[in-house]
């Protein structure tokens, strides 16, 4: 079968059918305009159909179409390569190949009809799969009729990508022809040199101009947001809060998320009513990007704030590396403050105003450096405090904040050696070095979705399926000394996304699924990588439409995490339930704190 990719569109093929010298079928004429390879079309349809299979999170038709289009183009390219190899190695030397023109046209038409038919039919079970995943998470899925739009999006995305590939191919041919005419070199050498030049230009363009332009545009878009203040957020008057009149941190330097953090949360009267005993005013310390010009400067301000607020005289000192925008999860913050009746000091620092997914691409090292600088400096100041009166040193991090916190430790014993009594890491990205090392070196026989390391002596993992599940992980076997707990949902794409998904089937997809992952999910080379990428993008950009307690939203389960690793003396399950009811009531009521 001769590929149409290398054929130029002739004026004769573009002319109206009545002016053609030879009568051609309508299908042949239409196909000559799009110039697609039929083997590539078949493979592209297969890849598109596989992309519709279930993954971690329910996908809407737009994301499904984008990922379907990307996978279809990858399949198309693979099919073009396979077709070329088969023709070159086997068919070109056969007397019966190519077949008669009429037979060839029928084969091409059948390929197109079957590919389109299979793609449309596959959307029916695909919509059902998405509804099943949505049902697992307690939400309503899309109807089959709505999900049919996926094919239209995939066709647009696939067409744009193939067009881009043809522009690149034409550029290579243009350079090759120029070199052949000018330097009289043979075709193969000219094509090799032309390809090398175009590849270098593309890499330079992507890594240089496009990447820098993307980061510049992201900065221009999100920096103004950092200067705004959410409606309902007002400067605190309590001296225990950064940004107050007594603080070393000016209110207008805290950034959008910093102002949310210090201006919300429980106050002493509320905690007194909740716990039925006199409470202290919780300390919340924060440094924004504009608080100082450098990371070292911001850390110095934090240390001054710790001294000013007498944070080292509280029962618990919680260090919180933030996510990309400087966000601190209000549920986690309020939960630990409620448990200790305000006898707490929470300290956090902003290192970026970009969303976490952009920070992951652009500021990953910056997040780790900032987290390490903050943790090391506060730890050193903590060591200078009299040992008998030191507060419990606790570390918390969610998502990219978890990754930043883990970067401060070379290996697990460092957490113990530095004197941390409790660590809670929630939804850790798969690229987190410590998390990955513990998972890879887990005890034989333990699953990747909930690994056991060193018998659970220091670190443990919980799926956060229920309060009882987290409590069970914490109680059996007995947990002495430093406690490090990872909360990770089986459906959290941030935890499971990795470039390795392209060609390696991970253990978590060989094991029995966790509580909120569909057993219908399968691993396919390349395809699963893009599926989980779409899950992660959808979870991050559309988090408010997704249910709490699934994916990358850990909700009130963080209270159970705190109860597992940092419960006050005499704490009971009934106390946890009392705090849970109060948190759920506040979350349901909304308000600036939980927006």
**Concatenated DSSP letters of 326-343:** ----HHHHHHHHHHTTT-
Q: Assess if residue 23 is contained within a domain.
A: no
Q: What is the pLDDT of residue 561?
A: 96
State the pLDDT at residue 8.
Answer: 38
Q: How far apart are CA 165 and CA 178, in angstroms?
A: 20
Structural domain contains residue 326 = yes
> Is 444 a member of any domain?
yes
- pLDDT at res. 176: 84
Q: How far apart are CA 351 and CA 386, in angstroms?
A: 31
Instruction: Specify the DSSP element, H or E, that contains 422.
Output: strand 422-426
Q: Using the 8-state DSSP alphabet, how is residue 21 labeled?
A: S
Q: Write the Ramachandran bin of 58: left for phi over 0, alpha for psi from -120 to 50, otherwise beta.
A: beta
Whether the ω angle into residue 372 lies within 30 degrees of 0, i.e. cis, is no
Q: What is the pLDDT along the chain (595 residues), one digit of tens a residue?
A: 443 334 433 344 444 545 444 445 555 544 444 577 889 999 999 999 999 999 998 888 998 999 999 999 999 999 999 988 988 888 777 777 888 888 888 888 888 899 999 999 999 999 999 998 888 888 888 889 999 999 999 999 998 898 888 888 888 888 888 888 887 778 788 888 888 888 888 887 777 677 677 777 777 777 788 889 999 899 999 999 999 999 999 999 999 999 999 999 999 999 999 999 999 999 999 999 999 999 999 999 999 999 999 999 999 999 999 988 899 999 999 999 999 999 999 999 998 887 766 777 666 778 889 999 999 999 999 999 998 899 999 999 999 999 999 999 988 999 999 999 999 999 999 989 899 999 999 999 999 999 999 999 999 999 988 888 899 888 888 898 999 999 999 999 999 999 999 999 999 999 998 888 989 999 999 999 999 988 887 766 554 467 778 888 898 999 999 999 999 999 999 999 999 999 999 998 887 888 7
CB 286 within 8 Å of CB 262 = yes
What is the side-by-side order of every strand in the sheet holding 459-462? 283-287, 344-349, 316-321, 392-398, 422-426, 483-487, 459-462
Q: Taking the CB of residue 9, how many other CB atoms lie within 10 A of it?
A: 12
Q: Do residues 150 and 123 touch, judged by C-beta distance below 8 A? A: yes
Let me know: does 172 contact 191? Beta carbons within 8 Å. yes
For residue 71, being part of any structural domain is answered with: no
Q: pLDDT value at position 590? A: 83
Task: Tally the domains of the chain.
Answer: 1
Q: What was the pLDDT predicted at 6?
A: 40
Question: In which region does residue 546 sit, left (phi positive, over 0), alpha (psi from -120 to 50) or beta (all else)?
Answer: beta
Helices vs strands, H then E, count in the chain: 23, 7
Asked if residue 436 is part of any domain, the answer here is yes
Residue 527 placed within a domain: no
Between CA 474 and CA 462 the distance in angstroms is 9
- The first and second tokens of residue 394, run together, are 């606790």
Angle at 435 between CA 434 and CA 437, to 5 degrees: 65
Structural domain includes residue 121: no
Contact 268, 262 (CB under 8 A): no
Domain assignment present for residue 347? The answer is yes
Distance CA 574, CA 127 (A): 42
**Whole domain around residue 255: which residue ranges?**
227-489+554-594
> Which residues, 6+ apart, have CB-to-CB distance to 412 below 8 Å?
434, 438, 453, 458, 459, 484
- Asked if 348 and 317 count as a contact pair (C-beta separation under 8 A), the reply is no
Q: Which long-range contacts (CB under 8 A, 24 or more apart) does 327-330 make?
A: 327/257, 327/260, 328/257, 328/261, 328/401, 329/398, 329/426, 329/554, 329/558, 330/260, 330/261, 330/264, 330/265, 330/593, 330/594
């Amino acid at each position: 079968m001769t590929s149409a990719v290398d054929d130029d569109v002739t004026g004769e093929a573009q002319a109206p059918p009545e002016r053609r010298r030879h009568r051609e079928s309508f299908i042949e004429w239409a196909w000559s305009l799009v110039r697609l390879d039929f083997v590539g079309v078949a493979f592209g349809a297969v890849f598109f159909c596989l992309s519709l299979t279930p993954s971690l999170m329910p996908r809407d038709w737009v994301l499904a179409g984008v990922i379907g289009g990307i996978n279809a183009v990858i399949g198309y390219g693979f099919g073009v390569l396979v077709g070329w190899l088969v023709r070159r190695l086997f068919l070109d030397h056969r007397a019966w190949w190519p077949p008669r023109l009429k037979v060839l046209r029928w084969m091409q038409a059948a390929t197109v009809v079957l590919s389109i038919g299979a793609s449309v039919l596959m959307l029916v079970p695909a919509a059902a799969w998405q509804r099943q995943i949505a049902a697992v998470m307690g939400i309503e899925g899309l109807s089959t009729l709505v999900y049919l739009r996926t094919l239209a999006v995939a066709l647009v995305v696939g067409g744009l990508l193939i067009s881009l590939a043809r522009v690149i191919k034409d550029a290579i041919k243009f350079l090759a022809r120029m070199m052949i005419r000018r330097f009289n070199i043979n075709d193969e050498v000219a094509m090799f040199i032309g390809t090398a030049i175009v590849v270098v230009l593309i890499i330079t363009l992507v890594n240089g101009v496009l990447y820098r332009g993307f980061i510049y545009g992201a900065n221009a878009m999100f920096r103004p947001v950092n200067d705004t203040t959410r409606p309902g957020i007002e400067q605190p008057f309590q001296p225990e809060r950064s940004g107050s009149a007594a603080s070393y941190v000016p209110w207008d330097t805290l950034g959008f998320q910093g102002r949310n953090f210090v201006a919300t949360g429980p106050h002493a009267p509320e905690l007194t009513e909740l716990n039925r005993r006199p409470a202290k005013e919780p300390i919340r310390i924060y440094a924004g990007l504009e608080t100082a010009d450098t990371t070292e400067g911001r850390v110095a301000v934090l240390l001054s704030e710790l001294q000013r607020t007498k944070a080292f005289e509280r029962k618990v000192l919680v260090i919180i590396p933030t996510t990309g925008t400087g966000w601190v999860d209000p549920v986690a913050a309020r939960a630990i403050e409620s448990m200790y009746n305000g006898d707490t000091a929470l300290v956090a620092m902003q290192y970026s105003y970009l969303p976490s997914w952009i920070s992951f691409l652009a500021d990953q090292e910056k997040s780790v450096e900032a987290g390490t600088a903050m943790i090391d400096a506060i730890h050193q100041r903590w060591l200078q405090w009299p040992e008998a009166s030191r507060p419990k040193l606790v570390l918390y991090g969610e998502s990219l904040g978890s990754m930043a916190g883990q970067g401060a430790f070379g290996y697990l014993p460092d957490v113990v050696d530095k004197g941390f009594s409790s660590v809670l890491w929630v939804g850790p990205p798969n690229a987190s070095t410590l998390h990955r090392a513990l998972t890879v070196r887990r005890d034989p026989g333990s699953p990747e979705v909930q690994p056991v390391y060193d018998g659970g002596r220091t670190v443990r993992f919980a799926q956060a399926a229920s309060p009882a599940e987290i409590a069970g992980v914490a109680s059996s076997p007995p947990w002495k000394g430093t406690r490090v707990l990872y909360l990770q949902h089986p459906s959290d794409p941030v935890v499971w996304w990795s470039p390795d998904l392209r060609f390696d089937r991970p253990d978590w997809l060989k094991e029995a699924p966790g509580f909120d992952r569909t057993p219908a999910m399968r691993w396919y080379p390349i395809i699963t990588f893009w599926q989980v990428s779409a899950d992660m993008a959808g979870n991050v950009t559309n988090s408010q439409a997704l249910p709490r307690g699934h994916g990358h939203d850990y909700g009130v389960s963080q209270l159970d995490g705190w109860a597992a690793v940092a419960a006050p003396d005499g704490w009971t399950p009934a106390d946890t339930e009392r705090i849970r009811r109060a948190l759920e009531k506040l979350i349901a009521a909304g308000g600036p704190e939980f927006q």
